[in-house]
């Protein structure tokens, strides 16, 4: 069973930018209600896409420099990386089926 991996500034290059698969990075915070709503959706998608898309989480309170580097202005923000480059961005809560459509468009 695949789950989103927690990533910080120290592991971002290895876990996200150098990953052989596309990576969806969830920029979130503990106090964010929509982030908490998105968490189970991302866990389901991590299982659905196991082996084809990797999922990661970055806590913006603990990694403010990383959030600033990617221009995260509101959360949740999902940034999709493919071959180390940003391939798409989704801001705010989104239901699973709509999120799947966005992911498919960004990684294919």
Neighbouring CB atoms inside 10 A of 62's CB total 13
Reply yes or no on whether 29 is catalytic. Answer: no
Please pick, among 7, 23, 35, 42, the residue that the annotation labels catalytic. Answer: 35
Q: Which of 13, 2, 7 is nearest to 26 (CA)?
A: 7
Q: DSSP secondary structure string, 61-74?
A: TT-HHHHHHTT--S
Please pick, among 16, 24, 32, 87, the residue that the annotation labels catalytic. Answer: 32
Q: Which of 60, 56, 75 is nearest to 12 (CA)?
A: 56
Reply yes or no on whether 66 is catalytic. Answer: no
Active site amino acids:
32, 35
């Amino acid at each position: 069973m695949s789950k989103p991996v927690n990533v910080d500034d120290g592991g971002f290059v290895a876990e996200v930018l150098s990953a052989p698969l596309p990576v969806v990075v969830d920029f979130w915070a503990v106090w964010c209600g929509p982030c908490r709503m998105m968490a189970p959706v991302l866990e389901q998608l991590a299982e659905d896409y196991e082996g084809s898309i990797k999922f990661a989480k970055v806590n913006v309170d603990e990694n403010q420099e990383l959030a600033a580097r990617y221009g995260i202005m509101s959360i949740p923000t999902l940034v999709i990386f493919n071959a180390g480059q940003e391939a798409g961005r989704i801001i705010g809560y989104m239901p699973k089926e709509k999120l799947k459509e966005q992911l498919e468009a960004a990684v294919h």
